Amino acid sequence: MKPLNFLTVSSVVRVANLAAAQNASSSLPINNFNSTFSITGSRNIRIDTGNYGPEVEEFHYYYDQWPIGLAVSKQGRTFACYTRGTYAHTLGEIVNKTAERAYPSQELNTPPGGLYTTTNGIQFGNNDSTHLISVQALFITPDDTLWVLDTGRPSITESQSTTMPYAAPGVHYPDSYMNDLHFDMRPNVTESGGGIAYIVDSSNEGRTGFIMIDLATGESWRHLNQHPSTLRTYGDVPSYQGMPFYLREKENSLGFQQEGLDGAELSLYGDVMYYSPLTSNYWYSVETKYLRTNPKNDTLAVKRAFDNVKNLGQRGGNANGFASDSLGNVYMLMPSSNAIYIYKSVLPPPDLRLPSTYP
């Protein structure tokens, strides 16, 4: 088992090698459809009870807190992470259908000083750089290494023997919120040959964008800062089970979701980044060559990235997470329709071009 390495952005954590220990559509064909009415409060709510595609496999039940990130290793080990609150751990491994354990240990999930920073009345942060505080996202690279994005540290400059600080304050702001991460470990994507990390900053305060880290040199930079494609959509009101959804915060009146840039995923060959704000029905893409260019080395890099964003149109609702597969499909989780949508980024040569009908 490799030793644990913390890669601090706010922070990304490399947790051991696990081997050692252009068409949007609904994801599945409709086999059967029916619906019913149920009573919720004083309203009749139409709820879809149809069956779509193959049967859902019941893999694991969450009784205390729902997960915010999942990752599966080559050996089939499944890991889940949770926004820190009163839960005993923020990173766990699934044991069976009803049980899980803290990973890699309960000790690493328990900062000695406790959690003394609060957000909306929930204990959230700590400046302890040697323990997991609040894990937001997971990623497993091709060498079966689990990387962990820990958002619960207010400081990004503290470093001890088991930590490696990467991002400087100029790219990670006090109001940043690291939401998701992706890696391209191919040696030819950076001059250093060590691979690159793409991190989503979904700052509710509005300074959204992408953070890139050269994993070999430790250099980091930002792109698409407050680009319209990364900003929240003001007044967005999604619906779930037919009910409008508003932001409810302690001691505040109803409001709107504030989160901008959220879901992101690389294309099959790593040359395109697909992404969208949480509060938008639109989604976008940009070639990663523009994101990989460090503005320190090219004064026009920021402009080129801004100018080469593509609007891919609406996709039928707000998406809350992206994933992909080896066929080039990009999957978008669609809570408002309880569905998974698929974007086929790799298509065969067309046999028909601009087909139409004639009398």
CA end-to-end span of the chain: 70
The Cα–Cα gap between 343 and 103 comes to 33
The Cα–Cα gap between 8 and 10 comes to 5
Give phi and psi for 36, each to the nearest 5: -145, 170
Nearest residue to 316 (alpha-carbon basis) of 253, 239, 228: 239
Give the per-residue pLDDT at 50: 61
Strand segments, DSSP code E, in 141-280 are: 145-150, 163-165, 178-184, 196-201, 209-214, 220-223, 239-240, 243-244, 261-266, 272-277
pTM of this structure: 0.81
CATH of domain 5-21+65-322: 2.120.10.30
Nearest residue to 181 (alpha-carbon basis) of 163, 164, 195, 193: 195
Q: Each residue's pLDDT tens digit in the chain (359 positions)?
A: 343 444 444 456 565 555 444 343 333 343 333 334 344 444 555 555 566 666 778 899 998 888 999 999 999 999 999 988 778 899 999 999 999 999 999 999 988 877 766 666 666 677 777 888 889 999 999 999 899 998 875 433 333 233 344 556 578 877 788 889 999 999 999 999 999 999 999 888 778 999 999 999 989 999 999 999 999 888 888 888 778 888 877 666 788 888 889 999 999 999 999 999 998 999 999 999 999 999 999 999 999 999 999 999 998 888 888 999 989 999 999 888 888 889 888 776 666 566 555 55
Encoding tokens for residue 68?
């915010």
CB–CB of 101/94 below 8 Å?
no
